[in-house]
Homo-oligomer: A and B are copies of this chain.
Amino acid sequence: MHIAILAHENFPHRAKTALGVLRYADYEVAAVLDRDQAGASVSDFVDDVQDAPIVAGMDDVDDDVDALLIGIAPIGGGFEESWREDVTTALERGCDLISGLHYFLAEDDEFTALADEHGGEIWDVRKPHDDLTVADGVAADLDAEIILTVGTDCSVGKMTTTMKLARDARDAGYDAAVIPTGQTGIMIEGWGNPVDRVVSDFTAGAVEEMLVEKADEHDYLFVEGQGSIVHPAYSAVTCGILHGAMADQLILCDVADRDVIHGYESFEQPPIPTYVDLYENLAAPVSPSTVVAGALNTYGLEDDAARDALDAFEADLGKPATDVIRYGTDDLLEVVL
């Protein structure tokens, strides 16, 4: 499928979804829309993802694209009216629309009318399906090895770690799949439950449902974690995923040079061993899970500093760890598979 990605005024550093899709999805990206960077290329900014021209708007996308994907998420998750012209242009060209915004584009009368008229479909990936329910508590009985990424905070690399481990495991000949739980993961994989948007009572159930569906098809299921068990706002989602997934193995994800909770700077992060104890002790009464390895995001650090940070993290953790982007996944896969 050929797509265009909307990332106005935010590419690349505040366009986490766009980058995730460029890096991991099977879509062929015909163009990235960013009116501030028009004329440049993706490769001018990021070198380890597929390249694409950056253009000012849909009118500059020559290619016959199948879909427009919203690749940024403003604080609050609302729709920016300055994007409307690009969205309507795409729909008028018969494109599908893929969005992970909190505001559902299928509830916009103009967009639905255009989609109906021109045969496009609107996929709000953050809209949970109607049949979700409470967990049965059965994930531990499934016939697949379940590996869950857990974090010290939000935005530390849980999605990236999950995607890379599953892909590299597949490349090495193992039958591995991703269980996507957030909007970017769902866009990349093309399916999944947006666990942070389901009814709170169904949090664990939304994860369990996906595992039950995929356990017979694959040997290894890599569950994309969310948030952190010590996050003042999002810990409920983290806890529901931990107990819904009943993972055999946990991988603790952290980011170098951050000591407080992102966006909640008055909350200090506890020491790494405290995280390990919290995740393992909270999992144990429901289903024992062990932190077997770590993944440290050293983005932006010089090589020496990155190596020092990783050594320190590995010492704190007492388990093998790596930066999956900088050093690859071999060390982690050796532990996990």
Contacts and interface: CB of A to CB of B under 8 A. Distances in A.
Which of A233, A243, A274 is most buried by chain B, counting CB atoms within 10 A of its CB? A233
Interface string A261-289: 00010111110001001100110111000
Given A200-B240, A285-B230, A137 B266 contact: yes
**How many copies, total?**
2
B239 A201 contact: no
Interface residues of A, number: 43
Contacts of A201: 196-197, 233-234, 236-237
Contacts of A281: 277-278, 281
A189 B278 CA distance: 35
A67 to B, nearest CB: 26
A238 B205 CA distance: 15
Interface string A282-309: 1011100000000000000000000000
B282 A200 contact: no
A208 B282 CA distance: 23
A236 B286 contact: no
5 contacts: A195-B200, A196-B201, A235-B243, A236-B236, A278-B285
